[in-house]
Each structure stands twice: as structure tokens, then as C-alpha cells.
Amino acid sequence: MKSLLPALLFFCLLPVVSKADFRINLLAPGGIAFADIAEGMTGIQGGWLKEKKDMYLAVYAPLSSGEKIWSVSILPKRDGRLTIQLVTTGRTGTVPERALCSDLHVKGADLRNGTLSEVANGKPVGWSAVRKAEFRRTSGKNYLLCDNLNYWTQTIPVKRGRMVHLQLSVRKDLP
């Protein structure tokens, strides 16, 4: 019975997760807790990590062709580092959904180059591409382009008990 619980939870969360096309992964070895998420988003904690479940939070949001501002507030449980990952989860047939992210703002911690205006060697300063994540300039604005395998990440310092509020603009990458 005990071994069936994780599988049951997975299948209960699957409909929620599979409807969402954009995800923000938040990882902190010292532990984090949700304080608030924007209406229309869904948040989960890393329950599969058992006693280390406080290390991981994921926030899911639907993608649309128009830009949408999404936000999440978290509370670090210890001084340390918070890793932010911007990825997608959905697919259209065999093609992964791709998201364009811009105008990233953080209150309560220092995010580097959230406006994406600092660029060196064709990449935004302060951001790390995982695999082949792309950086794009469209209509005079810079975007982080990500999908489920190719995504952007940044690690920032956080303080115990100091609320961290992350806000960003996201839209579906149109062919």
C-alpha cells in the first residue's frame, strides 16, 4: 500500500501538470516554501524527495500567444542559494512547446540582468543555457527561448525568512 501512494499522487497530478505548458523550477538546498502564486498558476512541492521535499518547488502556468505576466513568492528557510529554471512541459504532437520569457524581476534577492539588456557573445549575461536554449531579439525586445529540454537558469543568493518575489512575462513562441 505504501508503494502505491507515490504512483497514485503522480496520476492525480498528471492532469494538472499536462495542461500547463510553462514551468518555473525553484531549487534551494536550504529549503523553500510557497508564500503566494499568481491566479491561474499551479504549484507543487517535491514530495518524491521525501524528507528533502522542501528543496524543490515547481510552478506551472498555461502558455498563450499573448504575453502574460506570471509571479510567485517564496520564503527561503535558510541562507543560501536559489536556482531558477525556466522550462516548458507541453508538446504539440512530437514538437515541444516553446516559450519566450522576458522582463524578469526579483524583489528580496539579486537577480542579474532580468531585463536581458546585457548581452555578451550573443547570450544574456548572468544566465546559463542548458543544452541548446536560445536567446532571441524580437520586435526590439530580448527573450529567453526555452522548451522542455533546452532551458535557462540562474542561481541567486537568498536570506532566511526574507520573502523572494519573482515576476516575469511569458508567451508561446509562434512558428
pTM for the model stands at 0.85
SS3 8: helix
pLDDT in tens, 8-29: 334 334 444 445 589 999 999 9
pLDDT in tens, 40-96: 999 998 888 888 889 999 999 999 999 999 999 999 999 999 999 999 997 777 888
Residue 86 φ then ψ, to 5°:
-110, 115
SS3 111: coil
Query: What does each C-alpha distance from 86 to 26, 50, 107 come to in angstroms?
Result: 9, 24, 18
CA–CA separation, 116 and 60 (whole Å) = 22
Rg from Cα positions in the chain: 16
